[in-house]
Amino acid sequence: MPRSKSTAHIFVDYVDAIPTSALQPFVDAVAAQGLTVETAVHPTPGPMAGVHWLLPTAAVLYFAKSYFDGFLKEAGKDHYELLKKGVGLLWTQFFGDDRSFRMTLVGSSGKIRADDNYSVALSLMADAGPGLTFKLLIPDDCGVEEFTGLISMFLAFLSDYYAGSVDASTQRRLTNAPLRGRVIPMAYDRRSGQFIFLDPVRK
* Side-chain half-sphere exposure of 89, counting CA atoms within 13 A: 16
Residues 156-192 as b/e (b if ≥16 CB within 10 A, e otherwise) read ebbbebbeeebeeebeebbeeeeebeebbbbbbeeee
Rg (CA), the chain: 16
2-60 per-position pLDDT tens digit: 445 578 999 999 999 999 999 999 999 999 999 999 999 988 765 554 456 777 789 99
Predicted pLDDT at 141: 92
Is 203 within the bounds of a domain?
Answer: no
Residue 90 pLDDT exceeds 60:
yes
- pLDDT, tens digit, 9 for 90 and up, residues 162-173: 999 999 999 999
Per residue in 119-140, pLDDT (tens digit) is 989 999 999 988 899 999 999 9
Residue that wins the pLDDT comparison between 47 and 91: 91
In-domain check, residue 100? yes
Residues 138-167, mean pLDDT to the nearest whole number: 94
Is position 61 within any domain?
yes
Q: How many angstroms separate the CA atoms of 156 and 158, rounded?
A: 5
CA 106 – CA 115 distance, rounded (Å): 15
Is 10 contained in some domain?
yes
| Boundaries of domain holding 168 | 2-197
Sign for the pseudo-dihedral over CA of 114, 118, 120, 126: negative
In this prediction, residue 102 carries a pLDDT of 80
Q: How much of the chain, in percent, has pLDDT values that exceed 90?
A: 59
Identify whether 175 is part of a domain: yes
24 compared with 72, residue with greater pLDDT: 24
Lowest mean pLDDT among 63-72, 91-100, 105-114, 170-179: 105-114
Higher pLDDT pick, 86 / 98? 86
Q: What is the mean pLDDT of residues 85-98?
A: 92
Instruction: Report the number of distinct structural domains present in the chain.
Output: 1
Grade residue 75 by pLDDT with cuts at 50, 70 and 90: confident
